[in-house]
Structure formats: structure tokens, C-alpha cells
Amino acid sequence: MPKVKLDRIDRKILNDLQENGRMTNVELAERAGISAPPCLRRVRALEEAGVIKGYHADIDAGTLGYGVMVFAQVGLSTQSETDLKKFEDLVRSWPLVRECYLVSGEADYILKIVAEDWDAYQKFLTTYLTTAPNVSHIKSALGIRVAKHKPGVPVDIE
């Protein structure tokens, strides 16, 4: 994807929305130093350009009963583009998998998986992940605590 050219105001808007996606357009405009109508036009243009991909709530997993977070390194037997796409399509159908990255190195993928408890993760592992076509090996690492959770990317506002 080509890099989008952004001015200081666009970067300020992105930084502020990334920090608080529920900010009103009026507040966002004030923080960016422009009036509300051009601010809204800029936000819409950033959405249309694909810079802003969406908005979501950051939900505390524990409050909904998801007490376990696991990072699973998954190796595939074959890595043809067709096989990679099949695995990715399958992963998208599993609600417990919250993130999936194709990576280089010993594993082919790293999955972030949430589960209610260790038994629920083991059930997911043995019912879905280990039985998935083309999966050759899996290494699981239990997340103990989150030391930093900062979605998005650094935006230089200077």
C-alpha cells in the first residue's frame, strides 16, 4: 500500500482519533485548530483513502470472562499462497482468535487467542487448531499480564 501524504492537521486528527475515537467532531476540530466543517471533510477523506479503517470499543476481556490470553506460533506443512489463504480463511472463522499475523522465522503464523480459562483454550487447541488442515506444529505461550496495549501506530504530529 502506498504511503499517503498527510499534513500536520491530518496527523493531529489521526493522533487524536487514535487516542479517543469517540471524540466529537467539534472537539476534534478545536484540538486540530480548524473549524468543524473542514475537520469533518478531512476525517471523511482519511476514511475514504483507507487511512482510517474503522472505529471500535476497547473491551476489557476479563470483564466478559476471558481470563486467558495465549500467543500460539503455528507452523504449516506447506506455504503456497493457496495454503496460506485457506489457513487465514479458517482462522477468520474462529471467534477466539483475535489477531493473526503471517510472520517470518520458525513459525508461519502468530495467533492471539482469548479463552475463558486454560481448559477452554486446550479445548480450542485440540478441537480446532491442531486438527486444522496443513498445521504441522504449534507452540503456545500464555500471556501473564499486559504491560502495554497501544493500538494503532505512532503519529508524528510535529
| pLDDT beneath 70: ranges in the chain | 1
pLDDT at site 22: 94
| Joined grid coordinates for residue 146 | 499486559
pLDDT at site 96: 98
pLDDT at site 1: 62
**pTM of this structure:** 0.87
3-state secondary structure of 142: strand
| Joined grid coordinates for residue 85 | 489463504
pLDDT at site 53: 94
Looking up cell 467539534 gives 26
From edge to edge, which strands make up the β-sheet containing 109-115?
97-102, 109-115, 68-76, 135-143
pLDDT at site 67: 96
pLDDT at site 3: 81
| Joined grid coordinates for residue 43 | 476525517
Spell out the domains of the chain, with CATH numbers in brackets. 8-48 (1.10.10.10), 61-143 (3.30.70.920)
pLDDT at site 157: 85
**Exposure string over 62-100, b if 16+ CB within 10 A, otherwise e:** eeeebebbbebbbbbeeeeeeebeebeebbeeeebbeeb
